[in-house]
Amino acid sequence: MNMLKIVAVPMHPEGRKFVGIFAGIAVLLGLIWQPLFWLGLGATVWCYYFFRNPVRTVPQRAGLILSPADGVVSLISEVAPPPELGLGDAPVYRVSVFMNVFNCHVNRSPMDGTITQIVYHEGKFVNASLDKASEHNERNGLAIESPDGHRIGVVQIAGLVARRIVCFVKTGDALKAGEVFGLIRFGSRLDVYLPEGILPAVSVGTTAVAGETTLADLHAEQKAVQSVDI
């Protein structure tokens, strides 16, 4: 049933060492006082759950831009994309997906395409749900260009608890929509910069699923500006 799916979900290899550390601490706590073992075991199960890497059903319709992360759409703003990603300086829609410590933190490519740029910035660790996190927090930005020439930006942003951004790809790599490209450990956010003139297909408060939820549709008729919270 649903519980079996949670227990049996595969774990990303990045989490193995952390689960091992949590398990070792649980054993040591149990030697001190048995009730502490159960607390440690609960923390170990949470750690395993944090690094889960579930199989996703990726929509195959051309032109979709999918969520790169599990979480809640926390911000939708019209801003200029980060200059280092080479996406131009015209304002575009930025869709931010906030991940709490219980969300799956494996990050997936929003669309088919080639990585044209990867830029890492050191920074602060303020609450990732805040708008200023896009500029002030530690972050790693990727520019992805689709086979038909559409370009998007995807930025991994560390948060108040997150202290480690992991990126598994490099410039020039080709990605499929829904393919894993990185993760952020222990709470964070991802920003997606849509192509110029493309409107979001979600609203603030939408629960997003990485590799499944559609953030925008490149082939949809762009009729009206969607209301957004900034």
- For residue 119 the two structure tokens come to 């830029």
Residue 188 is a catalytic residue: yes
> DSSP character for 186?
S
- Residue pair 194/152 in contact (Cβ under 8 Å)? The answer is yes
Active-site position among 67, 109, 134, 188: 188
Burial of 8 (0-12, 13-18, 19+ CB in 10 A): exposed
With a CB cutoff of 8 Å and minimum separation 6, the contacts of 214 are 59, 64, 65, 66, 67, 201, 202
DSSP for 110-179 reads: SSSEEEEEEEEE--B---TTSTTHHHHB-EEEEEEE-TTS-EEEEEEEE-SS--EEEE---TT-EE-TT-
Active-site residue numbers? Answer: 188
